[in-house]
Structure 1
Amino acid sequence: MTTPNELRLLPWSGPGDKPCYLSSDDPEGYMSRLADSIEAIQLGTASELLEEASEALDNEDTSHDQMRCLVGELTGALRDVHRVATSRGHLRTTSDPRGSAY
């Protein structure tokens, strides 16, 4: 079984927006694969929103309300990407035999 510092931060939150963690020795297990799949979706969504934001900035006809909505979506996507980066950075640190991710 994994030790407490090897828990994987999952790409979703629990009640009260608290972080959820996975304790598993099997990176090919159901929950690990589910987390990988959700992370891929989140990263894909962020990429699409980035492209949409670039287009909106280039379009002089983009309304204030459209930009406000886009900023809200980008905020959520950035939160997701930050969680993925935190999780992957932590996993990399705990799996690196030298004890450093960089």
Structure 2
Amino acid sequence: MSLTNQVRLLPWAGPEGKPCYLAGDGTGYLSRLADNMESAQLGLAGELVQEAQHTLDGRQWTPGELHLLAVQLTEALTNVHRIAVSRGARLPAPAYDDLDTLDDLETEDEERDSRRPVPLD
């Protein structure tokens, strides 16, 4: 698929919760809007992780607080997952088309690792 007809999973869902896609080269208004929304979603997810750590470290929470935290973390994780899927789908294909090349590289790594000395404690 060339850059001019690439399809992008957008960081929001449609009216019935279905995924939304954008076809284009990634330079238009909606692409910039999606980039900004992804950035905001990732920032909010990071802040929520810090808040969750703070809440759990305090060890003094109510069941309602834990429920709200679980709801918010689930929403943030859903957004981050959608962003990861969208960005992963837009990554270029690997430089090598031959899976044997990948197998050869993995075999070399395994052989090198097997020759390393094991520390004795």
How far apart, CA to CA, are the structure 1 residues paired with 2:35 and 2:56?
32
How far apart, CA to CA, are the structure 2 residues paired with 1:77 and 1:99?
35
Which runs of structure 2 are paired with 1:54-65 in the superposition (5 Å)?
54-65=53-64
Q: Deviations over 1:65-100 (max 9, x none)?
A: 1111011000000000000000000011xx346378
1:60 positional shift: 1.9
Instruction: Please give the TM-score of this superposition, normalised by the length of structure 1.
Output: 0.85
Q: Residue in 2 aligned with 1:17?
A: 17
Q: Which has the larger radius of gyration?
A: 2
Instruction: Please give the TM-score of this superposition, normalised by the length of structure 2.
Output: 0.72
User: Structure 1 residues 49 and 31 mapped into 2: Cα distance closer, same or farther (>3 Å)?
Assistant: same
How far apart, CA to CA, are the structure 2 residues paired with 1:99 and 1:49?
39
How far apart, CA to CA, are the structure 1 residues paired with 2:94 and 2:55?
45
Gaps of 5+ in 1: none
Which runs of structure 2 are paired with 1:8-47 in the superposition (5 Å)?
8-25=8-25, 27-47=26-46
| 2:87 is the counterpart of 1:83 | no
Between the two proteins, the alignment pairs up a number of residues equal to: 94
Higher relative contact order (CA 8 A, sep 6+): 1
Secondary structure of 1:20's aligned partner = strand
Equivalent pairs: percent with the same residue? 47
How far apart, CA to CA, are the structure 2 residues paired with 1:60 and 1:67?
11
Q: Which segments of structure 1 move beyond 4 Å, counting only runs of 4 or more?
A: none
Compute the RMSD of aligned alpha carbons: 1.6
How far apart, CA to CA, are the structure 2 residues paired with 1:31 and 1:98?
30
